[in-house]
Structure 1
Amino acid sequence: MTLGMISSQMTAKAMPADAIVHKWHVFQNIKETRMALGATDRALAILDALLSFHPDTAFYGDSALIVWPSNEQLIRRANGMSPATLRRHLANLVDCGLVIRRDSPNGKRFARKGQGGEVEQAYGFDLSPIVARAEEFKDLAEAVRAEVKAHRLVRERLTICRRDIVKMIETGIEEGVPANWGRVQQTYQSIVSQIPRTAPRQVLEAIAGDLDDLWVQVRDALESFVKTKNLNANESQIERHIQNSKPDFKSESENGFREKNEASGSAAETGNVRSLPKRELPLSMVMDACPNLAWLLKGGGEIRHWRDFLAAAEVARPTLGISPSAWEEARIAMGETQAAITIAAIYQRVDQINSAGGYLRNLTDKAKAGKFSVWPMVMALLRAKLDAAKAAGSGAGEGVVELETAAKVVRTEQRLEISDALRRSLDKPGRGS
């Protein structure tokens, strides 16, 4: 005897006499709430067998609901199990309050019938908790179904959010959207690594919330880039429309001013930048101009891909004493690759620059005004190597390497379509520093 058994008996006595339930409907609710009730699967198989021994499908609150099968009959109808297993799981049904024991004086299960053949007294298992707790089982089953649905939905939410974030990160890297995508990937991996194989819904909800926040950040970065791109495209279209509206009108003062500037070699920086090619610099050319960046790789590694170059620039930034805010502004204004090339050029000539952070902010301001390009910086570094090679002579093996670099400079200049004024400005001492 336990307090739980007494509680079950009290519940059975308190059930209304006019209560009526469908025993198999209640049994279905019990199966769905098995874990919450603490019932075992084998115990439910025995309960199924006990219910089958009662001839009625509808259970009434005022009817006799005691069945008295022997252990052998239960074992056969419960698909076979050992007597010890049967006793253990019968005890589980009693502990869960699903059945009540009605023991005879000698512990046997039987029924006494009257003269008319009706059962007057029975000893066995009382199934009245099926009726008394039917509403409880129904409410509990609905709660379990709701929890299962919520668990499935949060799993689906995690899957969709993970897929979207990965695709957006790939898009941002491929399209050159200015953002620290390496850090975004690290944040994503740290969140995903917390997802356990089996976990309660509350844990998954918390992880899904972190992924939602990251999704919003990545989406905002992509949308801001698209809006900026569309705005620039509209401005350039309006500018072309204004320029083409009067194609034959050119003032003499304007022509004279342009000729004077080009003759003196001091053309406007905006014109110089626009005359440079719009394509990206090759990685090999950047590394020829900025070989010192490779020193920052662990184990003396080699920079073969842009991702290696970006990683090395991330290491160079604190080495140069550049603040994270200055680095972030440069990436937004120039783009991640262009900003990394600028860092590499600064690192290459760090001994000639007093304040790397202030210099980067100055270049960032020029980039915001559309007056900056990394092409002159890289070309100036390559020309410096060419001048050094000429001064040192080309007899030694190192001279051969420098001459190869010089040949690349010559070939690059032949491919560029730039103005004479820009070429003269690139030749000036200290250009790009």
Structure 2
Amino acid sequence: MHRLLAALLAATACATIAQAQTSSPVDTGAAQPQSTSPALMGPAFTVDRALELAGVVSPALEAASADIRAAEAGRRVAGLRPNPSVTVEAENVAGSGPYRGTQSLEATTSLTLPIELGGKRSARIAVADARTDRATIQATIAQADLRLNVIRAYAEAASAERRLITAHDQARIANETLRAAQVRVQAGRASPIEAERANVARVNADAALTREERAVEVARFTLSRIIGQPIAGPLDTDWFSRVPATYGPLRPIDSTGTLMMAAANADFAIADAGVRLARSQRVPDLTLGAGARRLEQTNDTAAIFSLSIPIPMFNNGRAALSQATAERQSADARRRLTALDVDQAIARAQADAANAATNAAAASGPALAAAEEAARIARIGYREGKFSQLDLLDAERTLAGTRAAAIDALLSYHIAQAQLERLTARAPVTQGE
């Protein structure tokens, strides 16, 4: 009997493999059972719609937008020049003798203006521009991360729905198998043990169905939290089932222009501008002053001019320049390290996506069709008394495992592909480029 079942499996597999080799697209949903669950009825909620809604309510995008506005405001602040100061002095008052009262008052009003030297203003602007570019890149990173999170949550919810469909079908089959076993027992063609064994399989199938229903609720709730509203209707099963028939060779690895490299380059640009700013701070600034002094006794007025130059005796800016130089060296080293990490991550993501696509195409195509055909033949043969119950249970377990493997492969493919898109996303053009 086992040899007969194995022969049927082999013949069915050969036929489905030959059929699959004549068609290029992978139809992963053709052999999937249909669900009658009310929660999965209605128009499909697509992944594009999920991405659109998530972009509207995402706190990460809102924070990134606020960071850009803050950086732009910082750029305006950096371009401002120092404010002048007005000083009013009163001398020779409230004394004794001829200086009693205000009869000998000397009032001086002066205006002082700091003069920045060493290119401090342009250095501040360079730092602010670099930070604005970094905020722009970070906003794009937030968008890419949000897209990855939405696709991952959507794929997990879609896989949970697909598992629920499979669990419904397995529960239906288990109930039919139980009824067939009871008929065989009542007819005296089988031992009561077969009915008990079929009942155990039914109980386990019902329990698995309950677990999958909870998993769908959790997955849909997680996705709804990301998009900011409840999900009505089923998810797009066509999107979840779509994988390339042939993935092809790995593409050349080039991290140049990716978001991660752009962020590392922006960090280095900030550190480099910080060195320029620290170097400019070593040049002392001048303070020019001009004013007028009024003499109470003669009612005369005289002009006053002043020039103030700080003496860099205790803080000459050397320590700050050393700190900024070390930070630039660190940023440059991290930039080179990021290039290595990104190249390796892209290579791994490409391999993961290719392997998942291959597994999904195999598990969802010929393997799944062969397992379904074998299970169908085993059910017919069991009802007719040609196959034993163990043969039937073995075929059903093979079918359930193949379906689960197909769903897992599809989920792995979509997550790996989304991760690859996240790693290879291109950086926006910034002011510094």
Asked whether the two chains share a fold, i.e. TM above 0.5, the reply is no
Q: Which has the higher contact order (CA 8 A, sep 6+)?
A: 2
TM range (shorter): under 0.3
Normalising by the residue count of structure 2, what TM-score does the alignment of the two structures yield? 0.24
Normalising by the residue count of structure 1, what TM-score does the alignment of the two structures yield? 0.24
